[in-house]
Amino acid sequence: LKDYSSEDREESKPLQPGTTAPDFLLPVYKGDSLRLSDLRGKVVFMDFWYKSCHPCRLAAPKIEEMYEEYGADGRVVFLGVNPYDKADDLHLQSFIDSRSIRYPILLHADSVAKEYSVSGYPTFFILDRDGVIRWTGVGYGDGYEKVFREELDALLER
């Protein structure tokens, strides 16, 4: 058995606040491609998820509610970043439909997940208008939605 030291655990944390978010170009499910740097000037909420992840499934309807509140009018760009599911997976469409997800789902994101040091799902990043990570969270549970809203409101007030 390997003994995981605190240094090992530090390395497994996702990119932390204050870090400029690495740029990427990914295909949008049933759409074109999206380049993160093209979103400069906007607050960005990124959710790294996949359809068979139980906490991801719990978070999806709440993320969609926040999209309705913050994203539908363009104040915040919401992105579902999916490193595992494939565009031709019929269950992916069923997942999206059953949760009424309307924000872009980005596919083929395995290398992006590695670049952002994502090791647990879901992992969330909130970026400011300059593309700097301002909040990072792993997992989903009670209280997360309140934190998401506080972080988004603070960035929108700047």
Q: What is the pLDDT of residues 62-101, one digit of tens each?
A: 999 999 999 988 999 999 999 999 999 989 999 999 999 9
- Looking up tokens 């969609």 gives 64
Say which DSSP state 12 is in: T
Say which DSSP state 20 is in: B
C-alpha closest to that of 21 among 44, 54, 51: 44
Give the residues of the chain that fall short of pLDDT 50: 1-10
What local confidence, expressed as pLDDT, does residue 153 receive? 97
- Looking up tokens 């998820």 gives 49
What local confidence, expressed as pLDDT, does residue 24 receive? 98
What local confidence, expressed as pLDDT, does residue 158 receive? 86
C-alpha closest to that of 46 among 83, 9, 73, 99: 83
What local confidence, expressed as pLDDT, does residue 90 receive? 86
What local confidence, expressed as pLDDT, does residue 7 receive? 43
pTM: 0.91
Q: In Å, what is the CA distance from 146 to each residue of 46, 62, 130? A: 16, 11, 23
Task: Give burial (CB, 10 Å; 0-12/13-18/19+) of 21.
Answer: buried
Can you give the length of the chain in residues? 158
Cα 137 to Cα 90: distance, rounded to the nearest angstrom = 29
What local confidence, expressed as pLDDT, does residue 1 receive? 38
Name, in order, each residue with C-beta under 8 angstroms of 1's C-beta and a sequence gap of 6 or more: none
What local confidence, expressed as pLDDT, does residue 72 receive? 85
Mean pLDDT, all residues of the chain: 91
